[in-house]
Amino acid sequence: MSEAPEPIPAASLPISASAPGKCILFGEHAVVRGAPALVLAIDLATQVLVRPGATTSLNGDPDAGVGQPYFRSALELFRAGRPALEVRSVSRIPRGAGLGSSAAFVAALAAALTSAGGGGDRDSLAERSFDIERNAQGVGSPTDTSAAVAGGIVALNAAKGERLWTIARGSDRWEVRRLADPGWTWVVAFSGIRRSTPDAVRAVGERLGRPDGPALLERFRRVSEEGIDALVREDPEGVARAMGANHALLKEVGVSHPRLEELLRAGAPAALGGKLTGAGAGGSVVLLPRAGREIELIRRLARAGGLPFAVRVAPKGASIVGAALENGS
C-alpha cells in the first residue's frame, strides 16, 4: 500500500517554509487541455519566512500585497481580514525561466499560511496553491504547483503511477500521480530570455483551437505517453527520443526561440536528448546528459550563452523548515 502524502503540521509564527522548482519533461501546453504531462521537482528551491508585521509586506515592499499578483492572490485566499504579515523570500530558481519560480513561491507561502492556520493535508495545499497561481495568471494547469507541493516525479493525466490527488475546475480535470525517480542527473539551462507564461499559453491555445488542433493535441498526448512509459522502464534512450519528439511539436506550435535552438544545438554532442521546458518563447531547455559527460554539457551550454544547472529530482515537496525539529522527531 502507498502512504498518504505527508500533511502540513500546525505551527505558530514565525514560520519558514520551502518548496522546490520544477522542470517539465513532457506535455507542457498540451496539459492545459487535459493531455498527459511529466514534471520533475528539482533541487533548486524557494524559501519564505512569514512573521507578524506592523504592515503587510514582501521583501520590505509594502505595496506587494496589491502589486505582486501571486502574493496578492495568496493573501486573498488565506488572510482576508487577518492581521498583517511580513514575508521574506529567497530563491535559487531564476525568475521567468520556466523553472517554476512562481509555483515554488506560491507553494512555500501557502504551506506556511496553512501551518499558521492550524495545518492541513497535502491535497488541500495542492488545490489552494493552484488557485493562487491561476487567480494570478488567469490561465494554466496545476502542473507546476503539483510538483512544488508533491516533490519527486509527478505525472498528470497518465495511466502510470501512484495516485496523489485530482484537481477539477469547471470541465477541466487533472489527475496527479507520483512516479519513481530513476535517480538520473538532468541539465537545465536558462536562455536569459524572460517571457510571459499566460501569453504563450494563449497563443498555443489559439493554435490548438484551429481545425487540425485535435489531431495536433493527439500527437502531444502520444509523445507524453511514450516518454512516461520510457521513464517508468528507466530507458534513457527512450526518454531522450520522446524529449526530441516533444520539442519538435512545441516548435511546430510556435513556442521555441532561436536562443533555445542554439542551446540545444550546442549541447547535443554531450546529451542523449533535449527540449525546451515550460511555456517556451524564451525560458529554458532541459537535456539528459550522456553518461559521464555532465560537466562537458554544462560547459557547452555556458559557452553558448546559457545559464546551466545540473539538477536532480528533489524528493520532498513544500515543507515547513524545522518542523521535524519542533516535533522532536
Interface residues toward ligand PMV, by CB under 6 A: 24, 28-29, 31-32, 98, 100, 140-141, 143-144, 197, 201, 278-279, 283
Q: What is the DSSP letter of 321?
A: T
Q: Sign of dihedral through CA atoms 209, 215, 216, 217?
A: positive
For residue 188 the three cell numbers come to 537545465
Residue 127 sits at the vertex; the CA angle it makes with 88 and 209, to the nearest 5 degrees, is 110
Our CB check for ligand PMV shows the closer of 16 and 130 to be: 130
Tell me the sheet residues that pair with 235.
Answer: none
Q: How far is the CB of 23 from ligand PMV (least distance, A)?
A: 9
Minimum distance, C-beta of residue 100 to ligand PMV, in the bound complex (Å) = 6
Residues with Cβ < 8 Å from 24, sequence gap 6 or more?
37, 38, 39, 40, 98, 143, 144, 277, 278, 286
Nearest distance in Å: CB 39, ligand PMV: 9
3-state secondary structure of 47: strand
Closest distance of CB 43 from ligand PMV, Å: 17
Work out how close the CB of 162 gets to ligand PMV at its nearest, in angstroms, rounded to a whole number.
22
Q: For residues 22 and 122, which CB has a smaller minimum distance to ligand PMV in the complex?
A: 22
Q: Which is nearer to ligand PMV, 32 or 230 (CB)?
A: 32
> 75 or 136: whose CB is closer to ligand PMV?
136
Q: For the sheet containing 284-289, what is the strand order?
A: 271-277, 284-289, 186-190, 307-311
In the complex, least distance from residue 30 CB atom to ligand PMV, rounded to whole angstroms: 8
Q: Give the nearer residue to ligand PMV in terms of CB position, either 70 or 78.
A: 70
Phi and psi angles of residue 172, each rounded to the nearest 5 degrees, phi first: -90, 140
CB of 137 to ligand PMV, least distance (A): 7
Range 117-131 burial, b when 16+ CB lie within 10 A, else e = eeebebbebbbbbbb
Nearer to ligand PMV, 50 or 97 (CB): 97
CB closer to ligand PMV, 197 vs 319: 197
Q: Which H/E stretch holds residue 136?
A: helix 122-137
